[in-house]
Amino acid sequence: MSQVKGRQTAIAGRYRVDLVVNRDDRGSFREVFQAEKLRTLGLPDLGPVQWNISENNRRGTLRGIHAEPWDKYIHMIAGEAFAAVVDLRPDSLTFKSYETFTLTQHNAIFVSRGLGNSYQVTSDGGVYGYLVNRHWSPDANYTLVSYADPDLAIPWPLTPDPAVI
């Protein structure tokens, strides 16, 4: 990851990080998270306390738009996904705007608290992993919006199947 590149996107608090994947006859190796290198790119200190992994068996699986009261650092461990990040912070200049992009093993994203995060797996066997800087709590305030919200009109690449939403 010595050649890691990253940038702030149009939505404040959302960063894209391009990773280096080294391959040889054995397979591959990638350094996904290294706090010091990410700080030099301008990302805030995440200070992770929890690591979560979501395995998605079927292509087309859609995890809806939700914002939590913590920051996330997200990376596809396997497979690919179409991701949409929506600004759900009412006091933000980019409130209700969104960005879409492809998540792979070659990139990662940082999503600040208050930004709605969602994804649709575009390959079979997508494994989505993320670090967070606060522990999950059922009492936390979660902001949700429908993946099919007509005001957002997110262009999901695959027709959402109710069985895998």
Does the annotation count 130 as an active-site position? yes
Q: CA distances (Å), 115 to each of 29, 92, 112, in order?
A: 30, 10, 6
Question: For residue 26, what are the contacts with CB-CB under 8 A and spacing of at least 6?
Answer: none
66 is catalytic: yes
Say which of 98, 119, 128, 130 is annotated catalytic: 130
15, 66, 75, 142: which is the annotated catalytic residue? 66
Question: 3-state class of 39 per DSSP?
Answer: helix
Measured between alpha carbons, how far is 16 from 99 in angstroms, rounded to an integer? 11
- DSSP letter at 162 equals G
Return d(Cα 86, Cα 155) in angstroms, integer. 13
What is the set of active-site residues?
A: 66, 130
